[in-house]
Chain A
């Protein structure tokens, strides 16, 4: 009966509800309690405190910082100052009210005790003018104490309450109003002479027969060190009177100071003498060199900290002018964009080939036989090792480093010809050749490549370096080739090692195929087990060697024999499993390994990686770009491979069905589908990298972040504001450009 069935259902659900209700309530209450506990702890641990927010001093400094940030130090105006003063007695001696002349200020009461509040009244000032109020104590040094600021009203009057500092004296002291006026306008710029050492004379920084000597006053150090900077703030020379050290801050940050040495080439620091309160520095070089715009930075040779910097000559400059900070910021923001470009390009080149390996749909049906795997695993390290050894041999025969242009050209020509003819043979020749023909062809190809690439890289280095000077301001172009050549020379053994893998690999594949088709299954099984045991042992022994290198165990039993034995057993086990299944799913294994590596690398922020690379290559953009490149490679490889995974499978299936090889079907069915997303992701990544490189400087990775961090730490918020502005503009425009370009490609 349908009716009775329904009523049973209702009863059952009602029962269930009744049962569930109290339990549900308990869960809700428990949930709320847990949430309160969690948030309570979170607020406590993050130090949320209203006392701090409302505290007056905190607010005052916040206002100061925000106002500084709102006034970026983009333009420098020189100021003309005029003073209006009045004599004043602290403590009180008579009750006569002091009066100043002209534009006048008066102080009530006429005298005060230290710490008293007094009122300064001004009249006859320029309407709405601003200035500062200062107290000039009776002292042999010219020092002033800032009392406050004033703003005159519409009639030129002001009234300001200030506190008298604790500087009692029997003589009258001065209270002054300093009116500061900006010199010049953009339409009408004014020349201003800056007397940097305040000796009242126009000094020119010109090296004469005795060199050029400058005294930096106000510093007392036991081990003075000096960095010499040219007009573009490049460190030209960095010497110390003590042991060599690395600068930890200042303009020469990351640079190493060497012991002072006289009689060198170029412009250099030839003498440093430290006395009480001053350091005397002599700079030598070609007579007549104008180094007025150069600077010296005085370092403490013991701590590596910068103490003071000084400009060598007096400057005549225009007011207003684009500020020093703006110049520096522009230079650094360009560096930052280039840093991001280099990192993106390097990461791209690594990620491109790897993305195919990390795509599940391409790798899932890559499988091999037990014998194929066994022989292949032996072939990989063997080929790599032989390739590396061959480059070593080539270099030891020809001498290292090879700088002889004749030898390099010969290498390039001979290697190039071998590669050209063999390449034509491989591309256009008959496909199926005997195993031995293939073997010799491959070996010859590797030899040709090793010679040709060695010649090419060497020539690029030698010629690029030689052309650096004659190219003058465009020296960076041959410089690029020289650098690429140097990189090529360094990575050549590695590249040839990787390429050389194909020689034993070809042999392994062919012998595996021959064994599978021509040998009885018993022999085949024996060879399979044996090769897997050996390759397992080899792989494990290599891992053992790595562990030994890391932990310096130096115990062959533990780092070689035991791993080798365990590896052999694992190899036998895999052989056994593979034999039962008929195939080994090598593709998925490679896929998982690649994915794990990418995910691990990606989870480490470049800011953290930079710390490691700074140790390796020193402070600066280079460390930053390596860290960023590594992160980019991992991130792009993942993004790319996900694109490969999301291609339409139909065309791939169709191309496969025509008898295409894996390489062919990838080139003709996969690549056309992934070009647009690859371009889009690369753009997106460059955009991200620009953003990231702006903060890499915080960890020593160069770029604009370095400037920003320095200025924030020194409390120069107006300078920091310029850098923030630059970052905002560059990031926003990159963001816009990349999104526009991405739209075009998707």
Chain B
């Protein structure tokens, strides 16, 4: 169970990205995070694995306070939280398999990095993860030789390497075309259903929210303005979330 309590983030330049956000996510839920660009979705996801340091409030993972964890504990917590990015964030000059194995770094001895080695076990795991996203043949290609959809699948394989309890997906389909978007969302769905991995996924398109998520929360200017099943998002709610000038497209 993931519990967010009174989370607030004010950036150094004074921008209030999150303001007193609280919610709980039970294990195994597919939670969609929606809202306009700049409403604080990315900041919220990044506060959970502390890529962004929260200004105030607490985040608990199975009753362990993530916000208070020291360096060593944070490393231990992070390795159980996978993350998928809008721009895939692969190391473009490295091989696909190396990118995937990087997901295992939280478990490997840090000194091993000095000699740039992974264990045979990790390699095996990486090939399995790649098979799962259907890219085992591309293992030895350079990451930048792959198409956008393939790169995002590598990103998912990297997250799978972490044996994650939670996957944070930050607009995973925003830079892909709609056909590919469904393929990526289906991978996330299968991970959610088969591995019982909790997924927090920020999304732009409401039809994707309706189609894949169990529950949605909405942010507007850093505040939580909606929390409930996606089916409850009617026109009135829609205007609350996206502002009064917005038009529904999908």
Contacts and interface: CB of A to CB of B under 8 A. Distances in A.
Interface of A: 426-429, 431, 513, 516-517, 648, 650-651, 653-661, 663-665, 667-669, 672-673, 675-676
Nearest to A662: B110
Residue from A513, A668, A675 having most chain B Cβ neighbours under 10 A: A668
6 contacts: A513-B71, A513-B72, A650-B88, A654-B83, A660-B106, A663-B114
Interface of B: 49, 51, 70-72, 74-83, 85, 87-94, 98, 102-116, 155, 158, 161-162
Nearest to B118: A668
B167 to A, nearest CB: 11
Given A651-B91, A672-B93, A656 B111 contact: no
A648 B85 CA distance: 14
A424 to B, nearest CB: 10
A650 B158 CA distance: 14
B105 A657 contact: no
Contacts of B106: 658-660
How would you classify the secondary structure of chain A's contact residues: helix, strand, loop or mixed? helix
A91 B60 CA distance: 118
Closest 7 CB pairs of A and B: A659-B106, A659-B79, A650-B89, A659-B78, A654-B89, A660-B105, A667-B113
Contact of B91 (A427, A663, A668, A676): A668
A429 B91 CA distance: 28
A681 B238 CA distance: 54
B66 to A, nearest CB: 12
A429 B114 CA distance: 15
A664 B74 CA distance: 15
A668 B102 contact: yes
A431 B51 contact: no
Contact of B85 (A427, A517, A654, A660): A654
A395 B230 CA distance: 76
Contacts of A651: 89-92
A653 B162 contact: no
B169 to A, nearest CB: 12
A654 B158 contact: yes
A655 B51 CA distance: 11
A663 B113 contact: yes
Contacts of B93: 672-673, 675-676
Contact of A659 (B70, B75, B98, B115): B75
B51 A653 contact: yes
Which residue, B75, B80, B82, B111, has most C-beta atoms of chain A within 10 A? B111
A516 B94 contact: no
Contacts of B112: 427-428
Given A654-B83, A654-B85, A659 B76 contact: yes
Contact of A650 (B85, B107, B111): B85
B109 to A, nearest CB: 5
Contacts of A676: 93
A669 B92 CA distance: 10
Nearest to A676: B93
Nearest to A647: B91
A659 B108 CA distance: 10
Contacts of A431: 109-110
Contacts of A427: 109, 111-112, 114-115
A661 B90 contact: no
Nearest to A660: B105
B79 A664 contact: no
Q: Indicate the member of B83, B88, B91 with the most A CB atoms within 10 Å.
A: B91
A655 B105 contact: yes
A280 to B, nearest CB: 67
Given A427-B115, A651-B89, A663 B110 contact: yes
B111 A673 contact: no
B84 to A, nearest CB: 9
B155 to A, nearest CB: 8
A658 B111 contact: no
B102 A426 contact: no
A611 to B, nearest CB: 40
B158 A658 contact: yes
Nearest to A667: B113
Given A513-B70, A654-B83, A659-B79, A669 B110 contact: no
A676 B155 CA distance: 24
Given A427-B115, A673-B93, A650 B110 contact: no
Given A657-B51, A659-B80, A675-B93, 17 more contacts: A427-B111, A428-B112, A431-B110, A513-B70, A651-B90, A654-B89, A655-B102, A657-B49, A657-B78, A657-B81, A658-B78, A659-B75, A660-B75, A661-B110, A664-B113, A665-B105, A667-B113
Contacts of A648: 92
B70 A516 contact: yes
Contacts of A516: 70
A419 to B, nearest CB: 13
Contacts of B107: 659
B199 to A, nearest CB: 15
A651 B90 CA distance: 5
Contacts of B102: 654-655, 658, 660, 668-669
B160 to A, nearest CB: 11
A659 B114 CA distance: 17
A657 B83 contact: yes
A544 B165 CA distance: 55
A595 to B, nearest CB: 21
A656 B110 contact: no
A428 B118 CA distance: 11
Nearest to A652: B89
A658 B105 contact: yes
A658 B103 contact: yes
Contacts of B110: 431, 661, 663-664
B70 A664 contact: no
Contacts of B71: 513
A211 B93 CA distance: 70
A71 B71 CA distance: 71
A427 B117 CA distance: 10
A426 B111 contact: yes
Contacts of B76: 659
Contacts of B85: 650, 653-654
B105 A659 contact: yes
Contacts of A658: 78-79, 82-83, 102-106, 158, 161-162
A495 B174 CA distance: 51
Nearest to A670: B91
Nearest to A432: B72
Nearest to A428: B109
Contacts of A426: 109, 111
Contacts of A650: 85, 87-89
A669 B93 CA distance: 10
A706 B75 CA distance: 58
B80 to A, nearest CB: 8
B94 A672 contact: yes
Nearest to A661: B110
Interface centre among B80, B83, B85, B89 (most CB of A within 10 A): B89
Contacts of B81: 657
A651 B83 CA distance: 12
A427 B112 CA distance: 5
